[in-house]
Structure 1
Amino acid sequence: MTVTIRPADERDTMALAQLIEEIERFYGTTEIQPLEERRAQIQGALFGSPPLASVLLVEDEAGDLVGLAAYSFLWPAAGSSHSLFLKELYVRDTLRRQGVGARLMAELRALAAARPGCSRVEWMTDRDNPSARAFYKSLGFAEFDGKIVYRVDTGAV
């Protein structure tokens, strides 16, 4: 199957809200945020002023969204440089193991390399996600064991 990888634009907001529900269900979430709330949050996060994040979308031949890579630039990274931080990489199960995820990763690396002062691409995956860990290993990426992740909820939705 042929797919197109492209940046998200405002016309993608509703389809992206639907894809995010698919992602939530993939991770086992049972309480799904209402579609209109998701749509409004996506609108603000991606197209607000200033935008909080960017997204590369995977679009299939029919024009349906079948994957995404959501990322932000973070500062500081090494020294006074910045990094591209990949927050979410998702490809619909029917397209996995067909090179789509590898293409997304290559596109992210190219975006980072083209941005002056961006020194690296960083991301995390769950320790109990052997498929993701095997995917990153197949691309030649080594696991970094030096960080501990903390998270606290703010109570905001």
Structure 2
Amino acid sequence: MTVSIRTAGPDDMPALSEALARLSADLGDDHRAGEAELAAALSRGVARAQIAGDVPSGLALYSPVFSTVAGGAGLYVSDLWVAEGARGRGLGRRLLAAAAADARREWEALFLTLAVYEYSRAARAFYERLGFAPVTGQTRMMLSEAGFAALEGER
């Protein structure tokens, strides 16, 4: 049986939050965005999500990005999760495809970017099978929440 994939809406926040918490636990990450933060991000259009199944067996959470080098908009997939029992059946690929199609409609997206943990060999192999390649000559950098607030205060 094929699992249906749909764009997450307001009623999906509890399930979306729970699935993202499971992903964070699987990765050993902190999990700071709960239902309220997710609902706010989705309602403001700073994030969108594709969700698989009524009791989620997978999800993709993504945001718009713009690149002058690429010449247009793209999507940044911040989170891709497939439940352990649903892995190996193409659901991750289908979730990324649904996110890409949605981003093409919403933002006229031309590309997809994401980050993968260096220790996650299985995830990296999955992305490479789909045609993803490391971006050479670039290092992903991030300004912490405290650094962001300090920078904002300098305006």
Amino acid at match of 2:115: M
CA contact (8 A) 1:55 1:69 kept: yes
CA RMSD of aligned residues (A): 2.3
SS in structure 2 of the partner of residue 65 of structure 1: coil
Matched, 1:53 2:47: yes
**Structure 2 CA distance for aligned equivalents of residues 77 and 85 of structure 1:** 15
CA contact (8 A) 1:77 1:83 kept: no
CA contact (8 A) 1:70 1:88 kept: yes
Identify which of 35, 57, 74 aligns with 1:39. 35
Q: Which residue does the alignment assign to 2:113?
A: 122
Identify which of 47, 62, 80 aligns with 1:89. 80
Deviation at 1:111, TM superposition (A): 3.1
When you count helix as a share of all residues, which structure comes out higher?
Answer: 2
User: TM (normalized to structure 2)?
Assistant: 0.82
Q: Which residue does the alignment assign to 1:73?
A: 64
Where structure 1 has 5 or more consecutive residues not aligned to the other structure, the ranges are none
User: TM (normalized to structure 1)?
Assistant: 0.81
Q: How many residues align?
A: 147
Percent identity reads 27
Which deviations, in whole Å up to 9, do the C-alpha atoms of 1:38-74 show, x marking residues without a partner?
Answer: 1111111112xx2220001111xxx201211111111
**Structure 2 CA distance for aligned equivalents of residues 114 and 146 of structure 1:** 31
